Chain A
């Protein structure tokens, strides 16, 4: 059977599963809709968190990125896993004990202020929208490439499926769908990785193959790759070319940003107990680590394979996948010296081949000549990754509107039923806006992921951590810190990444402290912390009852009752 037939079958089956789960797990109360009734087991929640967390970008782009960045790609590997240590130790158990539905809930109650609540709502919506646009785009790309339908039709299909289970099931539907999606995406990621690891290094586990010899030789794979890079004039794979301070700042910004992302945090509101929130963070990191420790291995395998296949070979002798991806515009070849061979080298004046990083994972099974069903499986995995993350983000937007804005501020007397209707309307609007952004990606799409993490790092993380660990922190301090952090992050991103407000985009040499916009969240977070601490000490302490909330969330006992109010 052809790849396309296989893809229709496998994608069709997975979509039927998602819709089946949605019908089975309908939400009947707001508690179901926001936190899946608060009764999800730590293991299930860990798996759902992993699917929620691993986006289309993690699945499709990350290994490719690392493959082209070498050591510098470590920022993603450490940054997107290390944040779970912060989540487990500093946030998850306490927020679970606090026991409400959303992140703005915590900020609004802890800082006894609707101004703080509104700042949090704006951040949550801004972060989630910037992030969700990329997911819908990723879904569209997978559809377009594997089913050969137009990108926009693909986005429409994706929207329809997400709409179905997010609007119907809320968090309850999303949670159980995400478990199915995690299973599909991890299977789709590991099968080709294991195949390739076996054929290139003879090791079943890609994590071990990463350290192994190339099959039939006594050269280590990584040494081999460093050698190839040197020969072709690229910088050595295992050394990288970013400055140390920038690598440090980006890693920190991604870790702290991870811990501050509202769609990740709310997942920990769904488990029954405080101790479950801790366990759940552990499970989540385990499930994530399976993919994240495989990615660098895939990067090395794919990079070596690619160089072997193309470097100094006749253009005419290229395999079928080469011309297919050329047709999709993701590989371009320009025979500068007219010798009919591909010169793929570090020197841009001589280099004849350009390869889009996104194809490394998608084309990997083809490059390694794996069976057609494996290729189809990768397509289904990419869709699962994009849809699961999109659904989690949509829920944050929907609950920010129905719960934090309407129930908590505009119309506190709204009935349970009314709030649930608004939650569904919110989810519907969010799906439509997300789809619109997917079809018409805004100009700032390149900056979006960095912006989402930077904003989460600069706003939520300090406000939540100080809210738990500093009893003296008051609303004046928290609001001043959040506003300063966001303004600084947004301004830096606008000027240095997008070239707004200035005649031309400043060069990298003009970066403050040599830190790129991607890493600037670290600076903005420190500014937030310092301003919060100073302002809070100059203004009156928080009222007694708020100090009692802080005392209460510091002990696990009694978490079951906490959610009832």
Chain B
């Protein structure tokens, strides 16, 4: 594959990574730690929302993030012809 194509592939990969990592940071460090008190004024079932994110919610979001990454990278690999199938 040509050089400029590889460059765009890498750029798109980095953009995807960064946006997923922003979400990763917000749900754990943001919701679960930095803004836990503000979120704790809201309730989800019997738990305060900030507390819930710190003990459950963040983990669910982590899983979703990896799934999105797998799917999007699979598409990106195919689009640029660099997949390993």
Q: Please list the residues of chain A having a beta carbon within 8 angstroms of any beta carbon in chain B.
A: 66, 71, 73-74, 77-78, 81-82, 84-85, 88-90, 93, 207-208, 210-213, 220-223, 238, 244, 247-248, 251-252, 255, 273-275, 278-279, 281-282, 285-286, 289, 292-293, 296, 469, 551, 554-560
Contacts and interface: CB of A to CB of B under 8 A. Distances in A.
Given A71-B51, A238-B40, A247-B33, A282 B45 contact: no
Contacts of B62: 81-82, 84-85, 285, 289
12 contacts: A89-B69, A210-B56, A212-B45, A222-B48, A238-B48, A275-B70, A275-B85, A281-B66, A296-B56, A556-B82, A556-B84, A557-B83
A275 B21 contact: no
A90 B84 contact: no
A373 to B, nearest CB: 29
B28 A78 contact: yes
Interface in B59-82: 59-60, 62-63, 65-67, 69-70, 73-74, 77, 81-82
Given A210-B47, A251-B28, A289-B59, A555 B82 contact: yes
Interface string B31-58: 0111010001000111110011011101
Contact of A222 (B1, B28, B46): B46
Consensus secondary structure, chain B interface: helix
Contacts of B24: 82, 85
Interface of B: 1, 6, 9-10, 13-14, 17, 20-21, 24, 28-29, 32-34, 36, 40, 44-48, 51-52, 54-56, 58-60, 62-63, 65-67, 69-70, 73-74, 77, 81-85
B33 A251 contact: yes
Contact of B46 (A212, A286, A556): A212
Contacts of B54: 71, 74, 77-78
A57 to B, nearest CB: 18
A244 B33 contact: yes
A78 B10 contact: no
B59 A221 contact: no
B63 A289 contact: yes
A85 B66 contact: yes
Contacts of B82: 555-557
A211 B44 contact: yes
A248 B33 contact: yes
A81 B43 CA distance: 24
B14 to A, nearest CB: 8
Given A220-B45, A238-B40, A81 B59 contact: yes
B83 A222 contact: no
Max chain B C-beta neighbours (<10 A), residue from A82, A221, A278: A82
Given A78-B58, A556-B82, A248 B29 contact: yes
A82 B83 CA distance: 27
B45 A207 contact: no
A306 B39 CA distance: 29
B56 A557 contact: no
Given A77-B55, A82-B24, A85-B65, A275 B83 contact: yes
A220 B77 CA distance: 48
A244 B47 CA distance: 20
A126 B12 CA distance: 38
Contact of A274 (B13, B34, B63, B84): B84
Given A220-B47, A557-B84, 6 more contacts: A73-B55, A85-B65, A212-B46, A220-B45, A251-B29, A289-B60
Consensus secondary structure, chain A interface: helix
A469 B21 CA distance: 15
Contact of B20 (A85, A247, A289, A469): A85
B5 to A, nearest CB: 10
A73 B77 CA distance: 39
A200 to B, nearest CB: 12
A77 B33 CA distance: 13
Contacts of A281: 66
Contacts of A282: 63, 66-67, 70
A198 to B, nearest CB: 17
A506 to B, nearest CB: 25
Contacts of A238: 40, 47-48, 51
B7 to A, nearest CB: 10
Nearest to A554: B10
Nearest to A247: B33
Max chain A C-beta neighbours (<10 A), residue from B52, B62, B81: B62
A238 B44 CA distance: 13
Nearest to B24: A85
B31 to A, nearest CB: 10
Nearest to A90: B17
A189 B56 CA distance: 17
Given A82-B24, A278-B69, A74 B17 contact: no
B83 A213 contact: no
Contact of A74 (B10, B32, B83): B32
B37 to A, nearest CB: 9
B51 A275 contact: no
Contacts of A90: 17
Contact of A275 (B9, B63, B81, B84): B84
Given A88-B69, A555-B9, A556-B77, A292 B34 contact: no
Contacts of B14: 469
A40 to B, nearest CB: 16
A557 B40 CA distance: 47
A73 B56 CA distance: 12
B58 A82 contact: yes
A551 B6 CA distance: 9
B34 A248 contact: yes
Nearest to A556: B84
Nearest to B18: A89
